[in-house]
Amino acid sequence: MTRLVIVRHGNTFEAGEAPRRIGARTDLPLTGTGVEQARALGRHFAANGVRFDRVLAGELQRTRATAAEIVGEQAPAVETVAFLTEIDHGPDEGQPEAEVVARLGSEAIALWETERVAPDGWEVGAQWRVSAWREFVERTAEELPEGTILLVTSNGAARFALAALGLKPGAGMKFRTGSYGVVEVGGGADFRLLAWDVRPGETSGELGWV
């Protein structure tokens, strides 16, 4: 079985800073807390004997920096790929969350969070992202049938991995900063979701998927 460890990047807002819709057009760095979240993930995986055969990240610095902090000096190098880069929030890019809800309405936000239906004006690239995820998973399952792959992305982009593989977490698709999910890939359409939206310290003892 191939294992995909999907991570959401660390924090990009300081404590107390009002949340905004930040996507592909806003290349924010990690905050100090975000760096520590990434390092905590690295310690968590290392303590459980997890080693990565490939490391992929979105093109923005917040995802690349998170990946680099997780693996530290461990090989392999971080590869950047477009399908892991955040979505474009269009007219809502950089806007406070309250203003986004006022423009779109809570129903439109709920549809995005539960069904991946993009609100008016957002450019999410659903079709090509789903195709890219499926192509990547199928190719990786053939090339690294026992491999473990780290993929660092964002909340908006991560949900297309679930769509591509026909998976749906019981608690919903939202992905907190500094959290991870694990998908196990077998032959054909054999996909299993082993974890989603888990942070270091929220699991007890050894990881059940190692």
pLDDT in tens, 88-126: 999 999 999 999 999 999 999 999 998 899 999 999 999
pLDDT class of 22 with cuts at 50, 70, 90: very high
Q: What is the DSSP letter of 171?
A: T
Q: For position 170, what pLDDT does the model report?
A: 78
| Bridge partners of residue 5, in order along the sequence | 150, 182
Domains and CATH numbers, the chain: 2-90+123-198 (3.40.50.1240)
Q: For position 206, what pLDDT does the model report?
A: 62
Q: For position 189, what pLDDT does the model report?
A: 67
pLDDT in tens, 155-202: 999 999 999 999 988 778 889 999 999 999 987 668 999 999 999 988
- Cβ-contact 118, 95 below 8 angstroms: no
Q: For position 186, what pLDDT does the model report?
A: 84
Average pLDDT for residues 114-139, to the nearest whole number? 95
Distance in angstroms (rounded) separating the CA atoms of residues 118 and 121: 8
- Cβ-contact 129, 160 below 8 angstroms: yes
Angle at 110 between CA 10 and CA 160, to 5 degrees: 55
Tell me the whole-structure pTM to 2 decimals. Answer: 0.95
φ/ψ region of 70 (left if φ > 0, alpha if ψ in -120 to 50, else beta) reads alpha
pLDDT in tens, 61-88: 999 999 999 999 877 899 999 999 999 9
Pair of tokens at residue 73: 């000096």
Q: Which of 203, 199, 183 has its CA nearest to residue 1?
A: 183
Q: For position 145, what pLDDT does the model report?
A: 92
E-strand ranges in the chain read: 2-8, 54-57, 78-80, 148-153, 180-185, 191-198
**DSSP SS3 for 2:** strand
pLDDT at residue 205 is higher than 60: no
Average pLDDT for residues 27-56, to the nearest whole number? 96
